Amino acid sequence: MRVCFRSSVQPALIDEYRRRHAAVWPEMLQALKDAGWNNYSLFLAPDGLLVGYVECDDFDSARARMALTEVNARWQAEMASLFENTEDPGQAPDEGFQVLEEVFNLDSQLAAAGSH
């Protein structure tokens, strides 16, 4: 499955967010890979809209596998101050990711239309 999620970075901290994500800890990178986060990218708009795209077997399972790692807890704690406040101040950034509905998939529809 392919998953798109959104969150919000504080606009004043966009440069800081960009800087930190240009050099994510190797241990965090390896944890994501081991947890089955494939073809994973993050995109940022000037107003702070953050969009993630990832391919995985199941997003809840992929998140659960990351939640079991110690490095993810450390990473999310360090990033928390960069995000817009959520209703629950104790919530880690990755717990606040809002998943969007996939409404179009070119390859699926091409396959259904018989045009392989």
Which residues lie near a second copy (CB under 8 A)?
2, 4, 6, 17-18, 21-24, 26, 29-30, 32-33, 37, 39-45, 49, 51, 53, 98, 100-107, 109-110, 113, 115
Q: Which of 6, 20, 21, 65 is catalytic?
A: 21
Q: Which is nearer to a second copy, 85 or 105 (CB)?
A: 105
CA torsion, ordered 89, 97, 52, 108, to nearest 10 deg: 180
Residue with tokens 């440069």: 15
Asked if residues 59 and 69 have their Cβ atoms less than 8 Å apart, the reply is no
Q: Which is nearer to a second copy, 90 or 98 (CB)?
A: 98
Residue 47 burial class via C-beta count within 10 angstroms: exposed 0-12, middle 13-18, buried 19 and up: exposed
Q: Which is nearer to a second copy, 14 or 67 (CB)?
A: 14
User: Measured between alpha carbons, how far is residue 15 from residues 4, 26, 27, 68, 98 in Å?
Assistant: 23, 21, 23, 29, 22
- The question of whether 21 is a catalytic residue gets the answer yes
The catalytic residue positions are: 21
